Each structure stands twice: as C-alpha cells, then as structure tokens.
C-alpha cells in the first residue's frame, strides 16, 4: 500500500533513465534554481503543503505543486516531467509518513539534489501507526500521514516548512518567519472554531470513506469509522459495509461522509441500507480530507475547506446550533 513494490521500483528506474535522456537532449540546460526572477523556487508535493508554502513564501517564493490538486495523492506516481520540475526547486517539501512512498527514489534521481533543501513536513510529529483491519490482511496497517487535517499538527508542519525556507534562503528569514507566524495564528483560530462548533455535540462517532480523519477525531474527541483504509486503493468487503451499517444504526447517525476525490458509492450503499432497515433517511455530506482541492471544493482554499468541514461535522455529530 504505502511500500514501494518491485513494479514501482522498475517504474522509478525508468524515470531516472528518462531524466538522463532529457539532460542529454539539453532540456535542462539552465537549471535555474532561483527562478530567474530572484524568487526562491519551491516544490511542494501536494495541496496543503503547497498552500502552507505559498503563505510562508509570499511574494519572495515561487511555489509549485508536484501532485495536481484534482489527483488522489495516495496512488499518484511521478512521471518524467514531474522529475524535471522537481529538479528546478531550491526547496523541496514533502509530507512523509508514507504519503509519498516514491520520494526517496525521486530525490535520488535529481541532478540538483546537492543544492536543494529538503523538508519532511511530519518530522518530529506524533505519527500513529494504524493497525487497521479493513483489508483483513497484509495491507491493513501503516503509518498514518493525515496530520495536515488537524490544525494543531498542521501548525507543527508550518514550523518544519519555515525551517526549510530559512535554510534555503536565509537572507529572507525574518520575512518568512513573520508570514509563518500569521499562518499559525490562523490555524490557532481554526482550532478554536472546531472546539467551539463541536462543544455541544450529542454524538461521538462519524462514518467516513477512508481512514483519513483519525488525527482530527483524536484532537476533538470523537471516533471516525471508515469503509476504506489509509490508502483507499482497495475494495471494501461486504462485511465491512455491513459493519458500518450497524455503526450508523447503533449510533443513530444522521449523516455519512463522502470525500471529493473518492466515489460516494460506498456511502450511498450504507445510507440506502440504513434506510431500508430503519425507514430513516441518512444524508451523504462531504468531509474533505484536503488531499487536494477538487469536486465541490475546487474553488476553496485550505481554511475555506476546513470551515465547510466544521459545518458538516457539526451536523454529523449533532452539534447544530452550538
């Protein structure tokens, strides 16, 4: 699941060859790490890290995402053009905790790796190893990478990212630090909004599509049950669906949560089965794991998506009117 298998190793080796061919062809004749306009060139693997980096870098950095915002990052793999883009960065930021299992191979294939600052954004964070049973076998466990959804852990990621900016571009350290402080203050306020909105909740359980909300649930003291595992690349069994139908019935849940980059069909199946057995309607609302910026949330930024999550979570946890 999160482990680089032999098929991926062959794939990455072929990427390295493709990169050498591009180099030979002169495609990378001027690896301009400064961006040509004096701005620090930054590559961040996926949307939340891109957003944090943009906020910190302001007008003194040019930040690009590696993974397109409408892609599912757990199953994404780099193509040769992505390696060429990454090679232009002076600062490279990835999440870690197995979100990007290809990252070591990608970095190893870069021509400019020696003058690049690399940030693992989960470094020093309390990463949880899940012992999930969703797949009933060898793929049922792994490191949980989804820290960015928890505003408190996200602020720790901001500190790590700031460290990278300061190492890569010390002349602008004070500017980056000031921007990072503003961003952390906004994350602090977001944390307060979550606490306030969920303070009067009447339920303690939600049902989601994939196992992406355990840090958020731990932070605000509820339980998230999911139909898919950490990396939603496998089909759930009928037993798992039945188990979640029982969870919805037992906790009298008014809502099950879909996610923008994943199909709603499992949630619709669960909701339909609950209705069939109880006569009660169950809504499918969105709880966005912010793996990108897609579907109904494609025009929203990290904080706007979080505020929509708070609104929907309050409904799911029976905290309306809080």
* 142 is a contact residue toward Zn ion (CB under 5 A): no
User: Which residue of the chain is nearest Zn ion when measured via CB?
Assistant: 212
Judged by CB, which is closer to Zn ion: 151, or 212? Answer: 212
- What is the nearest approach in angstroms of Zn ion to the Cβ of residue 187? 20
Q: Which of residues 178-197 bind Zn ion (CB under 5 A)?
A: none
**Subset of 266-285 contacting Zn ion (CB under 5 A):** none
Of 228 and 282, the one with the shorter C-beta distance to Zn ion is 228
CA–CA separation, 259 vs 95, rounded Å? 20
The residues near 179 (Cβ < 8 Å, ≥ 6 apart) are 55, 56, 57, 58
Which of these segments, 38-46, 205-213, 214-222, 296-304, binds Zn ion (CB under 5 A)? 205-213
Instruction: Enumerate residues 6+ apart whose C-beta is below 8 A from 78.
Output: 12, 15, 66, 86, 102, 106
Pull the structure tokens for residue 214: 């355990």
Return the SS3 of 68.
Answer: coil
For the bound state, the minimum distance from the C-beta of residue 220 to Zn ion, rounded and expressed in Å, comes to: 18
* 318 binds Zn ion, rule: CB under 5 A: no
Provide the strand spans (E) within 2-152. Answer: 40-44, 61-65, 91-94, 117-120, 129-130, 142-143
Q: Shortest distance, CB of residue 228 to Zn ion, whole angstroms?
A: 9
**Binding range to Zn ion, per CB under 5 A, among 80-88, 100-108, 171-179, 204-212:** 204-212
Q: Judged by CB, which is closer to Zn ion: 68, or 163? A: 68
Segment contacting Zn ion by CB under 5 A, of 63-71, 109-117, 208-216, 244-252: 208-216
Q: Which is nearer to Zn ion, 157 or 172 (CB)?
A: 157
The tokens of 115 are what? 């003058």
Q: In angstroms, rounded to a whole number, what is the distance separating the alpha carbons of residues 199 and 319?
A: 7
Pick the piece of the chain touching Zn ion (CB under 5 A) from 180-188, 209-217, 270-278, 299-307: 209-217
> Which of residues 212, 236, 260, 316 is near Zn ion by CB under 5 A?
212
Number of residues located near Zn ion, criterion CB under 5 A: 1
Closest residue by Cα to residue 306 from 283, 286, 284, 282: 286
CA angle 147, 149, 150 (to 5 degrees): 75
Tell me which residue of 118, 84, 119, 76 sits closest to 100, measured CA to CA: 76
> CB of 25: closest distance to Zn ion in angstroms?
37
Q: Whole-number minimum distance, CB 124 to Zn ion, in Å?
A: 21
DSSP assignment letter at 71: S
Pairing mode, if any, of strands 142-143 and 223-228?
Answer: unpaired
CB nearer to Zn ion: give 179 or 226: 226
To Zn ion, the closest distance from the beta carbon of 74 in angstroms equals: 5
Nearest to 70 by CA among 261, 271, 235: 261
Least Å distance, CB 97 to Zn ion, is 11
- List residues binding Zn ion (CB under 5 A): 212
């Amino acid at each position: 699941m999160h482990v680089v298998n032999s098929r991926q190793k062959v794939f990455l080796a072929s990427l390295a060859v493709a990169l050498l061919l591009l180099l030979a062809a002169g495609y990378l004749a001027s690896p301009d790490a400064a961006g040509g306009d004096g701005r620090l060139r930054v590559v961040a693997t996926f949307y939340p890290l891109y957003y944090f980096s943009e906020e910190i870098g302001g007008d003194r950095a040019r930040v690009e995402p590696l993974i397109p915002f409408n892609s599912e990052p757990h199953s994404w793999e780099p193509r040769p053009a992505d390696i060429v883009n990454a090679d232009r960065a002076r600062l490279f930021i990835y999440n870690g905790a197995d979100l990007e299992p290809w990252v070591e191979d990608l970095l190893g294939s870069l021509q400019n790796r020696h003058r690049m600052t690399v940030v693992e954004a989960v470094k020093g964070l309390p990463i949880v190893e899940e012992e999930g049973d969703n797949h009933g076998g060898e793929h049922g466990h792994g490191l949980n990478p989804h820290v960015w959804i928890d505003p408190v852990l996200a602020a720790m990621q901001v500190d790590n990212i700031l460290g990278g900016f300061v190492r890569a571009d010390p002349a602008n350290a004070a500017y980056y630090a000031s921007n990072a402080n503003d961003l952390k203050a906004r994350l602090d306020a977001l944390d307060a909004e979550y606490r306030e909105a969920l303070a009067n909740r009447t339920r303690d359980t939600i049902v989601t599509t994939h196992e992406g909300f355990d840090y958020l649930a731990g932070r605000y003291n509820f339980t998230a049950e999911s139909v898919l595992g950490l990396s939603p690349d496998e089909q759930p069994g009928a037993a798992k669906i039945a188990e979640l139908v029982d969870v919805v019935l037992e906790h009298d849940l008014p809502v099950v949560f879909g996610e923008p980059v994943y199909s709603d069909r499992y949630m619709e199946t669960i909701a339909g089965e609950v209705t069939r057995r109880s006569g009660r309607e169950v809504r499918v609302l969105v709880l966005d794991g912010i793996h990108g910026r897609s579907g109904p949330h494609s025009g929203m930024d990290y904080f706007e998506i979080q505020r929509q999550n708070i609104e929907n979570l309050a409904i799911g946890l029976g905290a309306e009117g809080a």
